[in-house]
Chain A
Amino acid sequence: MTKMNRPVEERESVVVKFVGDSGDGMQFSGNLFSESAAFAGNDLATFPDFPSEIRAPQNTIAGVSGFQVHVGSAKIYTTGDLCDVIVAMNPASLKANLKWAKVGATLIVDSDAFDDKTIDKAGYTSNPLEDKSLTKYNLLKAPITLLTIESLADLGVDRKIASRSKNMFALGMLFFIFNRPLKPSFKFFDAKFKKDPNLARINKVVLEAGYNYADTVEAIESVIHVSAAKLEPGFYRNITGNVATAWGLLAAAEKSKRGLFLGSYPITPATEILMELTKHKSLGAKVFQAEDEIAGICSAIGASYAGKMACTTTSGPGLSLKSEAIGLAVITELPLVIVNVQRGGPSTGLPTKSEQSDLYQALFGRNGECPVIVIAASTSDNCFHYAYMAAKLSMEHMTPCILLTDGYLGFGSSLFKNPRLANLPPINPPVAKARDKNYKPYKRDPETLAREWAIPGTDGLRHRIGGLEKENITGVVTTDPLNHQLMVNLRAEKVARVANYIPEQEVEGPTKGELLIVSWGGTYGAIHSAIQEMTRAGKKISHTHFNYINPLPKNTGKILKSFKKVLVCELNSGQFVNYLRMQFPMPNIHQFNKVQGLPFMINELTEKFNQLLEEK
């Protein structure tokens, strides 16, 4: 076999998906590919796509695990709708993912994994590699398992163990196709397998074998080059939304000097925040894995009373369980960050899929008049910023804040420019001073209406708070009717006044005109990309994306009124649109909804946008 000189094909962006059995190491290959793209200076976004079962039966559709990465030389906003390259390690994964392949996409498949049994298990009636059903694609059949075993024969590695490295062989082929150097991965193996140099060696040999093999394959007619993206100078990393959320909370704890306390119970897809925070004991983070969701939030309320920057993390069903305790934090006017990494519901619903269907719950899901600040992150990396802001606003305004992210943001990753703590906004909670003779539990700041945070152990500030209604200023238990009305009003007004401390809402594109697209939370990437496509085609269309949900930015009404038509797009049956209609009763607010546990596709959005532009 001979090596060839191949032309280089320049691409602005490429979507690659690694798919295989749950145990095939697809997440590992995908991550390494992402790192290599990051080192080459590309912007990127990734998303792991795995079943909720840990090891579903082998070679079945139910057991397929995937990892999708979108790399580009321009800003990347989504993980991509359709794939340019799919690496499939068995028939089931090919069958499950072919619908995501662009026409003409490159399919790299392990032909050794296609036998009568696996083909049958996947639900194929004939071998797709032979029956000409894949002629629309650029099919690269490679005996990956066999070549992997052969490449390790000299090292005396057992066949069974050797075959486990086949994901590295496939990755090596991709590295050749994308003209990526192998060195950074070699360094990574050395670090990861420090205790077992033999494993590092195996991975290196197989990766290189895959690379060299690809060089001899005639079907690979050109290599792909994705230029470096023009990013702001600085130090970058690839970060998942859940880790970014954890770091945002840690940063707020250090900035406010209050120390972090997390009370949490494991739940998909929020558990990674708990696991990340518990690693950082050296930063003083106190993490309590509670016996249930209720104990998680209640311990956080206790810690908040005792003066910590307290948080609890969960997903939809867990938020339901925490509802009563959120009310306690509201009436005791204690700071508390509640992170809800949304998933498909109701009930257990779709644990590993994503939706925006907990908005009503975040806004209204409690007994009594019970307002809280609600914020939503919109990209994996800005989970850091919004977690930080949730903590800042909660502490400075002495009221709980719900931060909404979702499974796609939490599990997905994007590039994150390393901040410096000194450059983050200051956090100054209203901590009561020792021996203040005028201290009263519910005396309020005239601007924010926040009460003071009097921390147990402080001289001269002993006081009692609790779930019973209190007299304003003194904090004495009372059922006085007018006092209750006053306290209800004060708690609502306190949250409403947060609008004075958040940025005004921005519009991308013309600030008035025919059509405004409204979105919030995790759908930013898809909607932004769809609008970009429309703008390039000469359509006049504007976009405003909300991160601050309650209160809304002060100029929200003004923006909505500047357009003939407003279209609110969200992954639920219309929760944000109704929330807007409540506050701005206008007849021209339309809605576009999808509740399938899937993100918006760019083409379904542009179709809807065009339809609204054409309707008179």
Chain B
Amino acid sequence: MDFINNTVERTTVQLQKSDFESDQMVKWCAGCGAHAILAAVERVFPRLGYKKENFCLVSGIGCSSRFPYYVNTYGIHGIHGRAMPIATGVKVANPHLSVWVATGDGDSLAIGGNHFIHTIRRNVDINVLLFNNEIYGLTKGQYSPTTPMNKVTKSSPHGTIEHPFNIGELVMGAQGTFFARIPDNDLTQMTEAMFEAAKHDGTSIIEMLQNCIIFADKAHFGIISKENRDENMCIIKDGQPILFGADKQKGLRLNGTNLEVVELGKDGITIDDILVHDRYDPNPGIHIMLAKLGPPHFPRVFGVIRSAMFPTYDDLVEEKIRLGIEESPIKKMDHLFKSGETWEIK
């Protein structure tokens, strides 16, 4: 099948960060991880080379969803949980737009959970910045679908009794084609993942471990803080062996159907024993295993975990329309009016 290439129109001038800065006051709390994510977006958008009018930001409700007001693009701030279908409508209506969604763990995984999985299943070509702070911030501190079990929050004074989602596992369970995980304290990782998400054709989900300084401060501290990152954070790159640790002496090895942590030089382990990351593998098996790993027995895996090629929904819509136009004699309404069983009364 020939694919229609829904390319986004390119700019003829070099854009700057200032081209995307909005004149609105940014009203997130001082020290909120969202500021860093905004900085990363302002750094990535001019580098993508698209015309600045061809960006469209869509959001739902929550702290993260104020995002469109803070970036100078076309933008629509929607209703709680519904950013995904709004973005789907924008993209299908005009596939030549670069469509970005800003959403949170409550917005996308609780009230918008249904839209989240179905958008991913369809592989609509949109880029999703999922701010995961493991708490409801804007409503002041209730637990979310990613809050760890037993955590005390304002709506779980005796600890939560719910099993949290692992976002990567959910994305790939819904047949996701792109999943990356990044921390909000590393601008390089953020910009890289956003760049890859933009390049990927299909629904790109970036889980951003974001800190809510007021209601869930240091929720990700055990993994992404300076003290813990060497042991608990494993940044993976396509085509490279998966190593971590202060001096990159630890790695992941596939042993039968399980992953295990091994140390280079110990028990005869060499670099050749270490699993090499293939983010393009159509089979999500290893990707799901990588997404699920975490302390205490494993590090948490960061970077682009999956980026597999599958047709996008919006391309297929255009393709069906092209075929329809080619095959049907009904090219305009006046043809439709004359079609089928009609008769003349004189």
Residues of chain A touching chain B, judged by Cβ–Cβ distance below 8 Å, are 35, 38-39, 41, 188, 228, 231-238, 247, 250-251, 254, 259, 261, 263, 280-284, 286, 288, 290-292, 294-296, 298-308, 310, 324-325, 327-328, 332, 418-421, 456-468, 476-477
Contact = CB atoms under 8 A, between A and B. Distances in A.
A584 to B, nearest CB: 36
A325 B343 CA distance: 43
B89 A298 contact: yes
Nearest to B23: A476
By size class, the interface of chain B is 35 or more
Contacts of A39: 343
Interface in B297-346: 317, 320-321, 323-325, 327-328, 330-334, 336-338, 340-346
Nearest to A292: B114
Nearest to B83: A298
8 contacts: A237-B342, A286-B92, A286-B317, A290-B85, A299-B89, A300-B89, A301-B76, A456-B90
A466 B334 contact: no
A466 B338 CA distance: 42
Contacts of B332: 254, 283, 421
A263 B97 contact: no
Contacts of B324: 280-282
A465 B74 CA distance: 9
Contacts of A460: 53
B24 A476 contact: yes
A459 B53 contact: yes
B86 A302 contact: yes
A282 B94 contact: no
A324 B343 contact: no
B85 to A, nearest CB: 4
A458 B56 CA distance: 11
B269 interface: no
Contacts of A325: 79, 82
B277 interface: no
Nearest to A461: B53
Contacts of A290: 85, 118
B92 A462 contact: no
Contact of A298 (B61, B86, B333, B334): B86
B320 A305 contact: no
Contacts of B317: 286
A251 B334 CA distance: 9
Interface string B154-170: 00000000000000000
B52 interface: yes
B102 to A, nearest CB: 12
Given A263-B85, A302-B88, A421-B333, 8 more contacts: A231-B345, A232-B345, A282-B328, A282-B330, A283-B331, A299-B86, A421-B332, A477-B24
B333 A251 contact: yes
Nearest to B334: A421
Contact of B53 (A261, A303, A462): A462
Interface stretch (B36-44, B65-73, B234-242, B247-255): B65-73
Given A294-B82, A298-B82, A283 B336 contact: yes
Contacts of A298: 78-79, 82, 85-86, 89, 115
Interface in B15-41: 22, 24
Contacts, number: 205
In this complex, the member of A259, A301, A308 whose beta carbon has the largest number of chain B beta carbons within 10 angstroms is A301
Contacts of B340: 237
A294 B114 CA distance: 10
Contacts of A247: 333, 336
A292 B117 CA distance: 12
Nearest to B76: A305
A419 B78 CA distance: 39
B96 interface: yes
A290 B87 CA distance: 13
B81 to A, nearest CB: 8
B163 to A, nearest CB: 23
B94 A307 contact: yes
In this complex, the member of B324, B327, B328, B343 whose beta carbon has the largest number of chain A beta carbons within 10 angstroms is B343
A283 B333 contact: yes
B343 A457 contact: no
Interface in B256-273: none
Contacts of B181: none
A39 B76 CA distance: 52
B78 A301 contact: yes
B222 interface: no
Contacts of A234: 344-345
B93 interface: yes
A261 B330 contact: no
In this complex, the member of A282, A283, A291, A460 whose beta carbon has the largest number of chain B beta carbons within 10 angstroms is A282
A308 B93 contact: yes
When A and B form their complex, which 10 residue pairs have the shortest distance between CB atoms, in order from nearest? A302-B89, A466-B77, A281-B324, A282-B328, A299-B89, A306-B93, A295-B85, A298-B85, A303-B93, A456-B74
B78 A462 contact: no
A307 to B, nearest CB: 7
B65 to A, nearest CB: 9
Nearest to B318: A286
Given A236-B343, A281-B320, A467-B79, A302 B87 contact: yes
Contacts of B72: 462
Contacts of B343: 38-39, 235-237
A282 B331 contact: yes
Nearest to B332: A254
Contacts of B344: 233-236
B346 A302 contact: no
A237 to B, nearest CB: 5
Given A231-B345, A464-B69, A310 B79 contact: no
A302 B53 contact: no
B75 interface: yes
Contacts of B93: 259, 261, 286, 302-303, 306-308, 310
In this complex, the member of B22, B85, B96, B332 whose beta carbon has the largest number of chain A beta carbons within 10 angstroms is B85
B58 interface: yes
B51 to A, nearest CB: 8
Nearest to A31: B341
Contacts of B9: 457
B222 to A, nearest CB: 35
A281 B321 contact: yes
A466 B74 CA distance: 11
A228 B343 CA distance: 13
Given A457-B97, A467-B77, A236 B321 contact: no
Contact of A305 (B90, B115, B321, B345): B90
B54 interface: yes
